[in-house]
Amino acid sequence: MTDLAADRQLDHDVIIVGAGFAGLYMLHRLRSAGFSARVLDAADGVGGTWYWNRYPGARCDVQSFDYSYSFSDELQQDWTWSERYATQPEILRYIEHVAERFDLNRDVQLGATVLGATFDDAHSRWTIELEGGQHLVSTYVVMATGCLSVPKRPSFAGLSDFKGETYISGEWPHHPVQLSGKRVGIIGTGSTGIQLTTAIAREAGELLLFHRTPNFSLPAQNRPLDEEFTRELKSQYDQRRQEARTTTRGYPVPPILSDLSALEVEHEQRLEVYEAVWRNGGPVFTSSFADLLTNPEANATASEFVRGKISSIVQDPATVEALTRFDHPLGTRRPCVDTGYYETFNQPNVALVDVHDDPIVEITADGIRTASGSYDLDVIVFALGFDAMTGALLRMGITGQDGTTLPERWSDGPSAYLGVAMSGFPNLFTVTGPGSPSVLTNMVMAIEQHVDWITGILEFARDQGTDRVEADADTEKLWTQHVVAIADETLFPRANSWWTGANIPGKPRVFMPYVGGLGQFQQVLDDVRTHGYEGFSFS
Ligand code: N01
């Protein structure tokens, strides 16, 4: 491929991999800055995670009007969200609208599976190899491949013997799936499994939820957005976005959150705050007090409150026990956000199968067998999570300088300067990569932040008359150490979460996202930029 890159003319200044929120905005920004760019995506449509995750009940748990692009005021004024938390079909329609509105589709190549990306050191070019034999050569590559785009696939013994239907949540078929009256089993109780549960419980004849580790789930308090709310929102959209960029989460939080320690206030006052934030709804519950994610005693008060809520909702004591046997502090695995999840267990057609002490042994022709029993099923849905943050990058066949591959480079865990670039891989950028706030924040705001910054550094390189940009190894190492050090000051690393890679056997255990928050990260990015992109070399 090296010779090919030398012989061939450049196809584009930049190849972008991924046509989700990140890839599409990257294309828009690069075009506006005068670069030629092309987006590649294996899917048959734009949308990234919202193209693939079309399982029943799929919706976003960041409020729709925050989980949307802020770069165009016309767009945010024209588009009207119907619900506080948007469903997958509505979000996909929005992304398709953006692609059309900004004339992006003409530079998006769909059905394009990337098999490899190889850097030609002598000519400072990347060659991208696609399934089917096509090769593209570019100066830069931006991996907009998503943090949750590689589903964890089932590897249960006997899987192929099953006579019924099986579905993987992240690869849900495009045709309607008929579940009504059927015996359905769901394996997995993360955000996906919980959303699936509430949706499928309405339809299935019988629903069995195979549950291994309890996750905290918080009520969304979803509602339709009426005209008055929307008018008010739109009249202050710009201020809302300005504020969002300075926050930890990438969206403004309600003023009912307390900035005190949970231990500084009386029991009654603490309960009042928890009750008010619970009633307000959404993932902000984990910020009810200032120290829930840093102080185990403070956290225990919030965990206790949620346990109490679950016990007051779910009628069956054994189910309550299984749902509340938490092995991690609240918020140290990503909390789920639901509409009626705990209430679902009171339905006569729904049961929880606790596979913590009675593990799934195999899938049989008729259903699922655990160590102590067998469950006959017509349909099994796997909601097993993702090889998060690094999965898509590691399987992309990326080879940098000196023939070093990314899997070799990251064999002890990911390392990336600002989550955006890696030494030894010049001219390659990652949007919301490991070491950036990404999945701990509102992804769309985090994407815009990274994309704007990547565009800035490419413009800077062009102004310098160079076309080779590389993160310095020492600076990258210091940043990666800093990301781990500040995570260690919190409770986050205490949990076996996908944030640490613990959900994938053999994956190095490293807390991957930057816990400092979106606003603080912006200050770092601004600082690096105003110092002439300190920590990068240009040649
Ligand atoms: O995945 P998860 P997810 N046998 O890793 C279980 C985002 N998201 O797709 O914990 C039995 O959280 C596993 O059990 P355990 C969001 O960021 C967002 O649900 O390993 N069980 C766990 O219960 C979220 O955090 C939205 O014991 C097995 C489950 O599978 C992220 O995606 C909606 C198993 C995996 O849970 C991931 O959520 C949906 C086995 N062999 C998702 N292997 C929004 O609303 C795995 N499990 C925006």
Closest CA to 400 of 13, 144, 127, 149: 127
The predicted-structure confidence for 163-217, as pLDDT tens digits, reads as follows 999 999 999 999 999 999 999 999 999 999 999 999 999 999 999 999 999 999 9
Residue 8 has pLDDT above 90, yes or no: no
The predicted-structure confidence for 123-170, as pLDDT tens digits, reads as follows 999 999 999 999 999 999 999 999 999 999 999 999 999 999 999 999
- Report how far ligand 1's centroid is from the alpha carbon of 84 (Å): 23
Task: Write the DSSP symbol of residue 527.
Answer: H
Closest CA to 216 of 239, 181, 190: 190
86 CB near ligand 1 (under 6 Å): no
Specify whether the CB–CB gap between 114 and 17 falls below 8 A. Answer: yes
Closest CA to 225 of 70, 96, 90: 90
Specify whether the CB–CB gap between 417 and 409 falls below 8 A. Answer: no
Indicate which residue's Cα is closest to atom 39 of ligand 1: 192
The predicted-structure confidence for 64-113, as pLDDT tens digits, reads as follows 999 999 999 999 999 999 999 999 999 999 999 999 999 999 999 999 99
> Phi then psi for 403, rounded to 5 degrees?
75, 10
383 CB near ligand 1 (under 6 Å): yes
Specify whether the CB–CB gap between 424 and 469 falls below 8 A. Answer: no
49 CB near ligand 1 (under 6 Å): no
384 CB near ligand 1 (under 6 Å): yes
385 CB near ligand 1 (under 6 Å): yes
The pLDDT assigned to 2 comes to 41
528 CB near ligand 1 (under 6 Å): no
- Report how far ligand 1's centroid is from the alpha carbon of 531 (Å): 41
- Report how far ligand 1's centroid is from the alpha carbon of 154 (Å): 12
CA distance 99 to 92: 11
48 CB near ligand 1 (under 6 Å): no
CA dihedral 203, 208, 214, 218 (to 10 degrees): 10
Atom of ligand 1 nearest to the CA of 385: 1
pTM equals: 0.97
212 CB near ligand 1 (under 6 Å): yes
Q: How confident is the model at residue 36 (pLDDT cuts 50, 70, 90)?
A: very high
Closest CA to 440 of 422, 419, 409, 421: 419
Q: Which tokens belong to 362?
A: 């195999």
Residue 170: CA atoms inside 13 Å, Cβ hemisphere, count?
Answer: 20
Number of H helices, E strands in the chain: 17, 20
The predicted-structure confidence for 387-444, as pLDDT tens digits, reads as follows 999 999 999 999 999 999 999 999 999 999 999 999 999 999 999 999 999 999 999 9
510 CB near ligand 1 (under 6 Å): no
Q: State which amino acid sits at residue 59.
A: R
151 CB near ligand 1 (under 6 Å): no
Indicate which residue's Cα is closest to atom 18 of ligand 1: 191
Q: Is residue 376 helix, strand or coil?
A: strand
CA distance 277 to 283: 10
Q: Which tokens belong to 370?
A: 């655990």
From 148, 155, 197, 512, mutation site for ligand 1 pocket: most ligand atoms within 8 A of C-beta? 148
213 CB near ligand 1 (under 6 Å): yes
CA distance 520 to 499: 20
Q: State which amino acid sits at residue 39.
A: V
